[in-house]
Amino acid sequence: MSDLSAPGFPEEEVRHRARAGAAAAFPPAEEYGHVLFGAGQPGAADRAAPPDALDALRIVPPLFLPQRLAKLIDLGREPDYRDVELATVIGGFASALPVYVSATGSTRAAGGDLGLALSRQAGALGIPMVIGENVVPVNGYGRLGEAADRTLLGRLRAYTEELPDGLGGVAVQQSTEDADAEVWNLVHSDPAALPLLESGRLAFELKVGQGAKPGLGGMTVLEAEAAAALGDRFGLDPLFGDGRVLRAATPGTFTAEILRQQIRLMRNNYPRVRIWVKLYPGRDVAEAARVAHEAGADAVVVDGAEGGTGWAPGVFLPHVGLPLAECLRRLAVAPPPSLLVSGRIWEGARAVKSLASGARAVGLGRAALIAVAEDRESGLRRFVDCLALELRLLISALGKYAPQALDREDVWSPEECGITAGR
């Protein structure tokens, strides 16, 4: 099994949810009546990572609930959490939940049968999925005898074969190195993508950067023979001393005008395709999001510094980029209508806090891979069952019945009363 662990990530909690499903939202049922639970009780929250600014937020239900009253009148009975409707629209795609599967790349930890199992389960759930960068340059597109289980086309087919009518969609990511391989042109002209294209469930995602390594391009470690086959198409650095080399792609150069023109070019070249733009957590993320939205992007994706990656310099992970909570704070003045965010999303509280802070949906990256690694057939489904139950419980506790109804008033920060949250 591939190692999907990361410092501070609650891997065992995710695996437990992949095994137990919605029941994992509660303490063990056999403890009922025998154990008293409280803030200091050992549990999932205590085994998770130390609190960051998003974790430090509190979800704060009001006492007076006008939306619950409206729901009561509409239903003719007292509403409860089961009346929360989670269906929404994500970047132009109808989705069963305010959740999508964020990009997973070309490494073995995200590829092979794990990538196919992830694609199948995401499709069956009716939630959108992003197919990440580097898949075509590293593993091929999926024609001419290339190993289907690791290629872009293999993932695309696995997803669409399970997809319910009218739900979900695929966003195919393209970075500067993917552009050299003409990934979007390959997909757009492929008969396998035609059902998605004709049903409005195909998006192309322009990757400006990644949360785990802002300002850098894609990086992979290659054996000497594989590196030699690439010629001079990428920067190759034999720095490991054992025959392996670092392959580094250029990150691309953007200004506000370059981003506008790129989105307009995508609109002109692919008029039936949804346009997504993925931003890394730079200090001007709010301005970049505004530019992308005004230029016509159907979704603006912001990847917080907590986001995972297949490979990055160790110094970047703890020191570079804004945390997701700070990105949301900077975007709060005028968030794009279809803001999608990712960064250590693994349970309902972080998801609800993100939604209340302006996001339309949240992305599952490492959590989705861990869930599928735990059970290739149903791990992600059980994990999402648990997440959906928590979303319903938390949203209904706020006296609301749809994720779109959440607002900044639903969360409270310790900073509001002069308390500084620790990491």
Query: In the numeric block, which tokens belong to residue 386?
Result: 């648990």
Does residue 107 surpass a pLDDT of 70?
A: no
| Residue written as token pair 């891997």 | 11
Which band of pLDDT confidence, cut at 50, 70 and 90, is reported for residue 149? Answer: low
At residue 104, the pLDDT reads 80
Question: What are 31's two structure tokens?
Answer: 């403890």
What is the distance between the alpha carbons of residues 397 and 21, in angstroms, rounded to a whole number?
Answer: 21
CA 257, distance to chain mean position in Å, is 27
Distances (CA, A) of 98 to 91, 102, 126, 291, 392: 11, 13, 11, 24, 11
* pLDDT at residue 106, rounded to an integer: 59
What's the average model confidence in pLDDT over 340-356? 96
Burial grade of 174 (CB within 10 A; 0-12, 13-18, 19 or more): buried
The answer to whether 13 and 48 are in contact (CB under 8 A) is yes
Interhelix angle 366-374/112-125, rounded to 10 degrees, is 100
Q: Name the segment(s) of the chain with CATH classification 3.20.20.70.
A: 82-216+251-417
What is the three-class DSSP state of 63? Answer: coil
- Indicate whether 375 pLDDT > 70: yes
Q: Residues of the chain with pLDDT > 70: what percent?
A: 84
* Interval 11-42: pLDDT, tens: 999 999 999 999 999 888 888 776 655 544 44
pLDDT digits (tens, 9 = 90+) for 174-203: 887 778 778 899 999 999 899 999 999 999
What pLDDT is recorded for position 45?
A: 43
pLDDT of residue 140: 62
The predicted-structure confidence for 62-77, as pLDDT tens digits, reads as follows 999 999 999 999 999 9
Share of the chain above pLDDT 90, in %: 63
| Strands (DSSP E) found in 7-160 | 58-59, 88-90, 93-95, 99-104, 129-131
pLDDT at 84: 98
Q: Give yes or no for residue 324 having a pLDDT over 90.
A: yes
Residue 214 above 60 pLDDT? yes
Is 108 in contact with 373 (CB distance < 8 Å)?
no
Pairing of strands 129-131, 170-174: parallel
Tally of CB atoms within 10 A around 198: 10
- The percent helix, strand, coil of the chain (3-state, each to 5) is 45, 15, 45
Q: What is the pLDDT of residue 370?
A: 94
pLDDT at 207 over 50: yes
Confidence class of residue 44 from pLDDT cuts 50, 70 and 90? very low
- DSSP 8-state secondary structure symbol assigned to residue 210: -
For residue 47, what pLDDT band results from cuts at 50, 70 and 90?
very low
pLDDT range class, residue 243, cuts 50, 70, 90: confident
| CATH number belonging to domain 82-216+251-417 | 3.20.20.70
Predicted pLDDT of residue 334: 87
The Cα–Cα gap between 415 and 348 comes to 22
Q: Distance between CA 377 and CA 288 in Å, rounded?
A: 39
- The confidence score (pLDDT) of residue 60 equals 98
Residue with tokens 């949203």: 395
| 108 has a pLDDT exceeding 90 | no
Task: Give me the chain's average pLDDT, please.
Answer: 87
Q: How far apart are CA 299 and CA 179, in angstroms?
A: 20
Instruction: Categorize the per-residue pLDDT at 223 as very low, low, confident or very high, splitting at 50, 70 and 90.
Output: confident
CB within 8 Å of 217: residues ≥ 6 apart: 175, 176, 177, 248, 249, 250, 251, 252
Answer whether 376's CB lies under 8 Å from 113's CB: yes
